[in-house]
């Protein structure tokens, strides 16, 4: 492994740090971004922050320069994630759009499509969602059955999606649909899938938010009843949807590079909060042991990510490090969240809104919210199956 940064990388880091120093404090001082509750308030802040990033040319660094990006290298993407985590920068408004859908449009879109959508994504003008999962197609995504049948220069959509994040505030969505009705019955379920960009305000689309475990309304069911989507909104050719969707997974991987850093910051912050609100917990041998274990695990995860990165830089497959890192991320996020409430004692369980809630109720919310990491970005059991099968090569029954 060689992690020496080139002069170019160091210059990139310095430029980003200087920009963050100049912009972040000023941005935080603005305070009110509109949006009155939960998701909407968070999204208003994210929208303002992404616009600020775009003004500085920092919203989508991996995009081509002609569309407002910097054509950043993999190492620069990692530096970007690290610096954002260290600076505790807010999240962005169109994370799906910048990391996944935008790159898909850049790779597969026509000039007309790029012109229509890319500026709106990078500048956070309108929100985008990504509609893959269905009630019978989650881990087994290729089982998706939302039908899109061609009628002249339109597709007619019927079916249901579920758990689609922020569909209720999205203007556009990238959906995977089935254009070959016989593919599943004929045992070709990865074929006959097409990627369509859908105007979420079109007739025949019913979006119903589902309250999540924190009582926010973050994800939704989406029902299509004879909804019409112009053929010119298709991304790639008919039947190429699987390829279109899977080709950008690498972007998601790079986006996770800062996670061990942000979790380490969380650990420092929760110890700091404990010193203030429940100091005697820090004398408890069991809790001290748990802190030490997590610290060690975080360091291990950082090195695991470094090993994956080293493989990427050498053009090798990131197998099995990426699958292991997903399991580590899930395990550590939940273990950290549990440790926080145990360290803080009763005060750690007070939810936001109350005067005594520690850090605005962040730790109490995190305790329940982090459960999602067992299923988001690849369910734990499925990741374990893959590792058992392909890395350890356990015998099948
Ligand atoms: C916070 C959040 C946001 C999301 N946002 C989006 C979004 O924006 N767009 C979108 O398209 N989807 C989204 N999803 C959906 C997510 O992609 C799915 O939840 C995920 O793919 C799992 O599918 P599922 O929910 O159908 O669970 P299932 O696949 O039915 O899994 C249920 C359980 O069965 C286990 N299991 C499944 N298959 C196997 C197997 N072969 N062997 C052993 N165990 C197995 C799983 O590990 C899991 O524990 C989101 C989910 C969450 C939690």
Say if 107 falls within a structural domain: no
Q: Among all residues, which ones are annotated catalytic?
A: 252
Residue 249 resides in a domain: no
Can you tell me which atom of ligand 1 is nearest the CA of 131?
A: 11
Q: How many domains does the chain have?
A: 3
285 in a domain, yes or no? yes
Which residue reads 């880091």 in tokens? 13
Is pLDDT at 213 greater than 80 in this prediction?
Answer: yes
Structural domain includes residue 165: yes
Distance 233 CA to ligand 1 centre (A): 27
Task: Say if ligand 1 is within 6 A of residue 380 CB.
Answer: yes
Q: Which residues of 174-208 are buried (b: 16+ CB within 10 A; e: fewer)?
A: bbbbbbbeebbeeeebebbbbbbbbbbeeeebebe
Between the CA of 150 and the centroid of ligand 1 the distance, in Å, is 29
Calculate how far, in angstroms, residue 137's C-alpha sits from the geometric centre of ligand 1. Answer: 8
Position 1 in a domain: no
Q: Does residue 117 sit within a domain?
A: no
Atom 26 in ligand 1: which residue has the minimum CA distance?
A: 138
pLDDT the model gives residue 56: 97
The neighbouring-strand residues paired with 174 are 130, 197
Map 361-390 to HEC letters: HHHHHHHHHHHHHHCCCCCHHHHHHHHHHH
Statement to judge: residues 220 and 331 lie in one domain: no
Where residue 253 falls among pLDDT bands split at 50, 70, 90? low
Q: Let me know whether 85 and 211 are in one domain.
A: no
How far CA 312 is from CA of 41, 253, 370, in Å, comes to 37, 11, 28
Mean pLDDT of the chain: 92
Domain boundary among 239, 271, 290: 239
pLDDT of 73: 86
Question: Best mutation site among 144, 163, 381 for ligand 1, i.e. most ligand atoms within 8 A of its Cβ?
Answer: 163
Give the domain extent around 200: 128-239
Band of pLDDT at residue 91, cut at 50, 70 and 90: very high
For residue 134, the ligand 1 atom closest to its alpha carbon is 26
Pick the residue whose CA is nearest to atom 20 on ligand 1. 138
Quick check: 183 pLDDT over 80?
A: yes
CATH code where residue 315 lies: 1.20.140.10
Q: Is residue 77 part of a domain?
A: yes
Ligand 1 atom nearest 140 alpha carbon: 29
Q: Please tell me whether residues 264 and 224 are part of one structural domain.
A: no
> In the listed set 214, 239, 264, which residue is the last one of a domain according to the structure?
239
CA atoms within 13 A on the CB side of 362: 9
- For residue 134, the 8-state DSSP code is B
Residue 144's pLDDT band, with cuts at 50, 70 and 90, is very high
Would the pTM count as exceeding 0.75? yes
17: CATH: 1.10.540.10
Ligand 1 contacts CB of residue 164 (under 6 A) = yes
**DSSP assignment of 247-314, as one string?**
TTHHHHHHHTTTHHHHHHHHHHHHHHHHHHH-GGGGG-HHHHHHHHHHHHHHHHHHHHHHHHHHHHHT
Give dist(CA 212, CA 328) in Å, integer.
23
- Distance of CA 46 from the midpoint of ligand 1 (Å): 26
Nearest protein Cα to ligand 1, atom 27:
138
pLDDT, tens digit (0-9, with 9 covering 90-100), for 362-390: 999 999 999 999 998 889 999 999 899 98
Environment class of 36 (CB within 10 Å of its CB; exposed 0-12, middle 13-18, buried 19+): exposed
Distances (CA, A) of 228 to 75, 220, 241, 296, 355: 42, 20, 18, 53, 49
Residue 362: CB partners within 8 Å, gap ≥ 6?
A: 352
Contact in structure between 164 and 130 (CB atoms under 8 Å)? yes
For ligand 1, atom 30, the nearest C-alpha belongs to 138
**What residue's CA is closest to ligand 1, atom 5?**
165
- Is residue 116 in some structural domain? no
| The pair of three-digit structure tokens given for residue 316, joined into one six-digit string | 């090798």
Residues 213, 300 within the same domain: no
Does the beta carbon of 375 lie inside 6 Å of ligand 1? yes
Q: Phi first, then psi: give them for residue 164, nearest 5 degrees.
A: -85, 110
Is residue 53's pLDDT more than 60?
A: yes
Q: What is the CATH classification number for the domain harbouring 220?
A: 2.40.110.10
Contact criterion met (CB below 8 Å) for 14 and 47: no
Q: What is the mean pLDDT of residues 196-216?
A: 96
Separation of CA 380 and ligand 1 centre (Å) = 9
Window from 45-54, 55-64, 386-395 with minimum mean pLDDT: 386-395
- In the numeric block, which tokens belong to residue 328? 């580590």
Kindly give the distance from the C-alpha atom of residue 210 to the centroid of ligand 1, in angstroms, as a whole number: 15
pLDDT of 224-236, one tens digit each? 999 999 999 999 9
pLDDT tens by residue, 310-350: 777 778 877 788 888 889 999 999 999 999 999 999 989 99
Q: How far is the CA of 129 from the centre of ligand 1 (A)?
A: 17
Q: Whose CA is nearest to atom 41 of ligand 1?
A: 382
Cα–Cα nearest to 165, from 89, 204, 114, 216: 216
Mean pLDDT check: name the lowest of 25-34, 132-141, 259-268, 353-362.
25-34
Q: Which of 76, 374, 109 lies closest to 235, judged by CA?
A: 109
55's CB contacts (< 8 A; 6+ apart) are none
What is the Cα Rg of the chain in Å? 22
Q: Is the CB of 179 under 6 A from ligand 1?
A: no
User: Is residue 370 in contact with ligand 1, taking CB distance under 6 Å?
Assistant: no
Clarify whether residues 157 and 75 are in a common domain: no
> Do residues 139 and 229 both lie within one domain?
yes
Rounded distance, CA 202 to CA 109, Å? Answer: 21
């Amino acid at each position: 492994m060689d992690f020496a940064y080139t002069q170019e990388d160091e210059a990139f880091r310095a430029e980003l740090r200087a920009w963050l120093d100049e912009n972040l404090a000023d941005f935080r001082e603005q305070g009110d971004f509109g949006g009155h509750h939960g998701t909407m308030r968070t999204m208003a802040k994210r929208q303002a922050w992404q616009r600020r990033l775009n003004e500085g040319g920092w919203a989508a660094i991996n995009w081509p320069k002609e569309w407002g990006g910097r054509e950043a290298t993999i190492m620069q993407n990692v530096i970007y994630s690290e610096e954002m985590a260290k600076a505790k920068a807010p999240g962005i408004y169109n994370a799906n759009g910048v990391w996944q859908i935008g790159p898909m449009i850049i790779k597969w879109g026509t000039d007309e499509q790029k012109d229509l959508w890319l500026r709106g994504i990078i500048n956070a003008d309108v929100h985008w969602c990504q509609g893959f999962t269905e009630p019978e197609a989650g881990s087994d995504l290729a089982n998706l059955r939302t039908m899109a049948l061609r009628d002249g220069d339109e597709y007619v959509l019927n079916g249901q999606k579920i758990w689609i994040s922020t569909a209720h505030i999205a203007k556009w969505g990238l959906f995977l649909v089935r254009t070959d009705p016989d593919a599943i019955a004929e045992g070709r379920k990865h074929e006959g899938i097409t990627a369509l960009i859908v105007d979420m305000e079109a007739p025949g689309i019913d979006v119903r938010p589902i309250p999540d475990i924190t009582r926010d309304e973050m994800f939704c069911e989406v029902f299509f009843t004879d909804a019409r989507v112009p053929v010119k909104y298709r991304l790639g050719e008919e039947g190429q949807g699987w390829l279109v969707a899977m080709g950008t997974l690498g972007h998601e991987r790079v986006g996770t590079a800062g996670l061990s850093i942000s979790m380490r910051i969380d650990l420092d912050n929760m110890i700091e909060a404990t010193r203030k609100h429940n100091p005697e917990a820090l004398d408890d041998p069991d809790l001290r042991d748990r802190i030490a274990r997590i610290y060690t695990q975080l360091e291990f995860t950082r090195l695991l990510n470094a090993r994956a990165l080293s493989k990427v830089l050498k053009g090798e497959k990131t197998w099995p490090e990426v699958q292991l890192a997903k399991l580590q991320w899930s395990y550590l996020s939940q273990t950290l969240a549990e440790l926080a409430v145990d360290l803080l004692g009763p005060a750690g369980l007070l939810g936001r809104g109350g005067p005594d809630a520690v850090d605005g109720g962040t730790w109490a919310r995190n305790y329940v919210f982090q459960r999602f990491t067992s299923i988001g970005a690849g369910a734990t059991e499925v990741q374990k199956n893959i590792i058992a099968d392909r890395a350890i090569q356990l015998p099948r029954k």
